[in-house]
Amino acid sequence: MKKGISLLILVVTVLVMIILAGVVITSMQKNNPITDAKESKFKTDLAAVKESAEQRMQELMISKRGDFEINTYNRTPEEMNKFVEKMPKELEGYVIIENGEVKLTNKFRIDYPNKVKWAEDIKVPVK
């Protein structure tokens, strides 16, 4: 008998390796740690902006002793950059307050269509 690997065993081994490589590549695409990190950072930044804006509106309500209608309060993107203490660069020009609610502009929907769902996940509507 000859010693060595038969052609059939070699072909089966190569096929198994190709299948395993396909499974690994597919799972890496679905669970991409870089995309997950970007999503987490974006959601954290947007939640912080929303919380800061809501806190500022509450402070205005307290300082005006109830003579302040939060439902009619509006701020443009330019005003929001000053209204919120630490506006992340990525959100500058996109955050507004409309009728007392923190929202993202329609320009955000156009410039970052893949991030609209992330914003909606944390209850920040996009116009």
Report if residue 77 sits inside a domain: yes
DSSP class of residue 101 equals E
Asked whether residue 98 carries a pLDDT value surpassing 90, the answer given is yes
Asked if 41 and 47 count as a contact pair (C-beta separation under 8 A), the reply is no
pLDDT in tens, 43-90: 999 999 999 999 998 888 888 876 777 778 899 999 998 888 889 999
The answer to whether the beta carbons of residues 49 and 93 sit under 8 Å apart is: no
Can you give the pLDDT at residue 62? 87
Q: In this structure, is residue 29 part of a structural domain?
A: no
Where residue 2 falls among pLDDT bands split at 50, 70, 90?
A: low
**Residue 18 forms beta bridges with which residues?**
none
114 occurs within a structural domain:
yes
The average confidence (pLDDT) of the chain is: 89
pLDDT at 7 (0 to 100): 84
> What's the pTM value of the predicted model, to 2 decimals?
0.73
pLDDT at 123: 94
Q: Which position has the token pair 């993107």?
A: 77
Collapse the DSSP code of 104 into the 3-class scheme (helix H, G, I; strand E, B; otherwise coil) and give the result.
strand
Cβ neighbours around 97 below 10 Å, total: 23
Domain region containing 113:
36-121
Residue 85 lies in a domain: yes
Sign of CA pseudo-dihedral 74, 78, 79, 82: positive
Structural domain contains residue 12: no
Length of the chain in terms of residues written? 127
Tally the domains of the chain: 1
Q: What is the pLDDT of residue 16?
A: 95
The whole-angstrom distance between residue 104's C-alpha and the CA centroid of its chain comes to: 12
Separation of alpha carbons 21 and 10, rounded Å: 17
**Which pLDDT does position 77 carry in this prediction?**
93
Q: What is the DSSP letter of 47?
A: H
- Whether residue 28 lies inside any domain: the answer is no
